[in-house]
Amino acid sequence: MSAAQDFGARLLDWFDRHGRHDLPWQQEISPYRVWVSEIMLQQTQVVTVIPYYQRFMGRFPDVAALARAPIDEVLHHWSGLGYYARARNLHRAARQVVAQHQGHFPDTPEGLEALPGIGRSTAAAILSIACGQRRAILDGNVKRVLARHRGVEGWPGTTAVSRRLWALAEALTPSARVADYTQAIMDLGATVCTRSRPACGGCPVQSDCVAHATGRQSLLPTPRPRREQPRRSTVMLIIRGPEGILLEQRPPTGLWGGLWGFPEVSSVQEADQWCLRHLGTEVDEEHPLQPFVHVFTHFRLHIAPLRLWVKDPAASVMEAPGRVWYKPEARSELGLAAPVARLLDHIAHEDGEINGSHGELRLPG
């Protein structure tokens, strides 16, 4: 038995006894179900994804249902998972599968990678898990397992290190039970060969692991070179008018693309002018809320919420496209940016206590 075959055999034996076999996307396996799970699991842990996945599948059970749905509803079901470009790409890809492939997913890497949001590893996961094809994957968990086991130094984000890890992934992927192997190596990284404090005693490939032998588990894979996180700041205008709280839909790309949020300005002093220019009315009352920080992967956003009460916005503004006057019953129809949902919940709770409404959004006005 070759070294690659031995690696795969040990991993599969461990998977049969200790792997995860009851995840929602492991039931009724199909390219669609695997695809949605793989996209959700990018940058997000399994325990977080499971309830989102179940709700998403309950509403969009197949690719046709997802393709038919309005993007606002898709984004609503994604709210809280972050990295919203994933949801927009998911929706675009579903429409492409229906329009160009009669609702059937392509069964080649090239065909899958032509769809929005699907890269080499995601395409391979779909083909191996749902179609049984021998395809190597290289997600974050697999990179960690291979870098430690073979002692691969250097940040995996560089071209040279990525090539080496892909070569290892290709060499170690077996021809038989490829779907189980794919799940097994992901499970090993997620549950045993974890980022911090790996449980090496329960690892099936510990005996020839370079990182374990040299005590470098905490050093491999080599972390991304540290850069100081930039800071951005914004003032969110929580504007209460006669019809509710004003929300605007953000541009389809960029931060929270396509989601609904509060109007934003760069300073509190701009709030009055914003209301005059966009609503045709003056601020009747204002009240600042506690600022907070929302952390993204590459920067920190300092948010200063400012509650404003206005009277009689211009009639044209009340029905302007890309704007809605939020009411509690509309919540299920809108995809909200996470800080916006957090602030709306805070205001509903705060005003519910004042008005005795137990959470109904009734603001002073």
Which residues are catalytic, by number? 38
313: pLDDT confidence band, cut at 50, 70 and 90? confident
pLDDT score, position 360: 34
- Label residue 349 by pLDDT band (50, 70, 90): confident
pLDDT at residue 358, as a whole number: 32
What would the pLDDT profile of 67-126 be if each residue is shown by its tens digit? 999 999 999 999 889 889 999 999 999 999 999 999 999 999 999 999 999 999 999 999
The tens digit of pLDDT for each residue in 25-75 reads 999 999 999 999 999 999 899 999 999 999 999 999 999 999 999 999 999
Residues in a beta bridge with 86:
none
Quick one: pLDDT at residue 365? 28
Query: In the beta sheet, which residues pair with residue 288?
Result: 306
Give the model's pLDDT for residue 318: 57
Model pTM?
Answer: 0.80
**What is the average pLDDT across 183-202?**
97
Helices (H), the chain: 3-18, 31-41, 46-59, 63-68, 71-78, 85-101, 109-113, 120-131, 140-150, 159-172, 178-191, 210-214, 271-279, 315-318, 338-355
pLDDT (mean) for 138-159? 97
Q: Kindly report, residue by residue over 239-253, the tens digit of the pLDDT.
A: 998 888 999 999 988
Q: Give mean pLDDT, residues 129-152.
A: 97
CATH class of 3-139+170-190: mainly alpha
- Pinpoint the residues of the chain covered by CATH 3.90.79.10: 231-355
Question: DSSP string of 35-69?
Answer: HHHHHHHTTS-HHHHHHHHHHHHHH--SHHHHHHS
The DSSP letter of residue 103 is: T
pLDDT band for 312, please (50, 70, 90 cuts): confident
| Residues 209, 213, 218, 219, CA torsion sign | negative
Hunting for tokens 């199909």 — which residue is that?
A: 30
Q: Which part of the chain is CATH 1.10.340.30?
A: 3-139+170-190
Q: From CA 347, how far away is CA 176, in angstroms rounded?
A: 56
Q: Is the dihedral of CA 181, 145, 29, 111 positive or negative?
A: negative
User: Would you identify the CATH topology of the domain 231-355?
Assistant: Nucleoside Triphosphate Pyrophosphohydrolase (3.90.79)
Give CA–CA dist 209/162, Å, rounded: 19
